[in-house]
Amino acid sequence: MEQNKEIKTGNPPKEAAKATVFMNRELFTEFATFDTFHLKKVWKKPAILTLAFIIVSALAYFRLTSSGQSPLISFVLLAFGLLLTAYNYVKYRVSVSKIAKQQEGQEVYTLLINKAGLTVTAPEGRDVENKSLTFKWNKLIGVYRLKHSICLFPDPNHAFLFPTAEESSDLAWKIIEKNMEKDKIHSLRV
């Protein structure tokens, strides 16, 4: 929410971008969809299953119609494959929406991005083992700039979101570009 031009540590002033992150539906939904479908590629198995049902139903259709039998079973197989995929996708979207609604408006953490790296601080009153964590740039495995957030990954299963709605998000991105390895930075902003 604020843009700091100095950090009082006894060193010369440094550029830093700071944001207190409050979760909202838009932020969570964008991240969950990106993480699930782009990074973890969860869509592959259902797509293969659907393709298998389409192929089997097409083979059944041509086999049955060429022998003069009813192609009803092929339509049942096709409908089952498509409905199963649609059901799983709707179930996923409902689950994401429910979690987003539960987290709406909660203060999640405060992020500080500077030349040294990323510092994550838990909000006051949160009972956590480490109140503050610092990650040097070489310890982050990837950074992705989406439409509504900058996702910083210290490992494949954890990410910290810096909202692009924050005034200091452009400064945060410039700091990231200056200090992180180029092959770990990905801008997917549309």
Rounded to 5 degrees, what are φ and ψ at 37?
Answer: -95, -35
User: What per-residue confidence (pLDDT) applies to 14?
Assistant: 62
User: What per-residue confidence (pLDDT) applies to 119?
Assistant: 95
In contact, 18 and 3? CB cutoff 8 Å: yes
Q: Does the structure show a pLDDT above 90 at 117? A: yes
**CA-CA distance, 76 to 74, in Å (whole number)?**
5
Give the fold, CATH level 3, of 2-23+106-187. PH-domain like (2.30.29)
User: What per-residue confidence (pLDDT) applies to 96?
Assistant: 92
User: What per-residue confidence (pLDDT) applies to 149?
Assistant: 94
Q: Does the structure show a pLDDT above 50 at 2? A: no
Which one has a higher pLDDT value, 140 or 8?
140
Sequence-separated (6 or more) residues with CB below 8 Å from residue 46? 84, 85, 88, 89
